[in-house]
Amino acid sequence: MVHDTWVGVDVGGTKVLAVRVSASGEVEASATRPMPGRTASEAAVEDAVVAAAHDVYADGPPTALGISAAGLVDSTGERYLFGAHLPWRDAPVRARIAERAGLAVVLDNDANCAAHAELAVGAARGIDSMVMITIGTGIGGALVLGGRVVRGAHGLAGEFGHMQVVPDGLACECGLSGCWEQYCSGRALERVTRVALGRHLDGPEVAAMASAGDEVARQAFASIGTWLGVGVAGLVSAFDPELVVVGGGVSAVGDLLLEPARAALLESLQGTAHRPVPSLVPARLGPEAGAVGAALLARDAGKL
């Protein structure tokens, strides 16, 4: 007899990552396809999502499919509203993909999915209040209070990446300037490295160099890690969480990112001699957290 499975697909700025999970949340398979790009058609992205999901099907289709998407998803989980890195604009993405895939589908913001995964099977089990930051092409975020993801009045809570951290700062794809993700993200890592070396390296190349001890690459991670800590300090001032969890592809480098972030958090938070400072820890599910969370949301749909 075929066991129940759920598939989660994370749609990010550069790639579409699919995972298949078991009822206990174990990842049984994963696959990656390129994201068609933010100037591609909406249908092209939907094709890529369905194709990536198919890549991880077991003998047959899963019980249900979860979609994790970078950007703004409405509070009903029906529509993708807006995002700097994806072409969808106020699009009924849940229903479209349900029709294409012939499956029950749930849709949520990538960081909300990641937070759900970390709460369910990751670094935040048993935690009541948490800030989750996912660092990929840009920054995603989620707030957890009372052990549940806070969705906000319109489903848009946790959009930390477009908080302004530098007045009249770097132009952002969202149309604003000085957004946090311009200083702390995969794109920021590439920019800092390009300025230092005079040539383009992509994020994984910079990570490999940094892990091998290259000083320029380490300094690039220190730069975005410091900005991570500065931004996290602001969120800690605002929300006072028990824990800060950092996930997303760029976080795979670990302490090369997180140590500068911890130092900057301490330096940028008011009254640290007089208040507890939350731990800043890596997401246990790593870069797959969004996809795993989407699959677990599909599993838990109706139960929540």
Q: Which residues bind its own copies (CB under 8 A)?
A: 72, 81-84, 89-90, 128-129, 141, 143, 145, 150-160, 162-167, 174-176, 179, 230, 233-235, 237-242, 268-271, 273-276, 278
Place of tokens 């068609």: 36
Cβ of residue 209: shortest distance to its own copies, in angstroms?
Answer: 26
The DSSP letter of residue 114 is H
Question: For residue 83, which amino acid is it?
Answer: G
Of 20 and 79, nearer to its own copies (C-beta) is: 79
Alpha carbon 108 to its chain centroid, in Å, reads: 11
Specify the residue, 3 or 154, whose C-beta has the smaller distance to its own copies.
154
d(CA 78, CA 101): 16
Residue 148 CB, nearest approach to its own copies (Å): 11
Which helix (H) or strand (E) element contains residue 101?
Answer: helix 93-101
β pairing state of 130-135 and 139-145: antiparallel
From residue 135, give the alpha-carbon distance in Å to each of 13, 18, 61: 11, 18, 31
Q: CB nearer to its own copies: give 167 or 213.
A: 167
Q: How far is the CB of 269 from its own copies (least distance, A)?
A: 8
The four Cα atoms 136, 140, 141, 142 give a dihedral, to 10 degrees, of -100
User: C-alpha 138: how far from its chain's center?
Assistant: 8
Q: Decide whether 32 or 164 has the Cβ nearer to its own copies.
A: 164
**Distance between CA atoms of residues 29 and 183, nearest Å:** 33
Query: Three-state SS for 246?
Result: strand
Closest separation between CB of residue 253 and its own copies, Å?
23
Shortest spacing between CB 123 and its own copies, in angstroms: 16
Residue 111 CB, shortest distance to its own copies, in Å, is 12
Q: Which is nearer to its own copies, 181 or 288 (CB)?
A: 181
Q: How far is Cα 181 from Cα 156, in angstroms, rounded to an integer?
A: 17
Residue 124 CB, nearest approach to its own copies (Å) = 13
Considering beta carbons, is residue 116 or 299 the nearer one to its own copies? 116
The residue among 179 and 207 lying less far from its own copies, judged by its C-beta, is 179
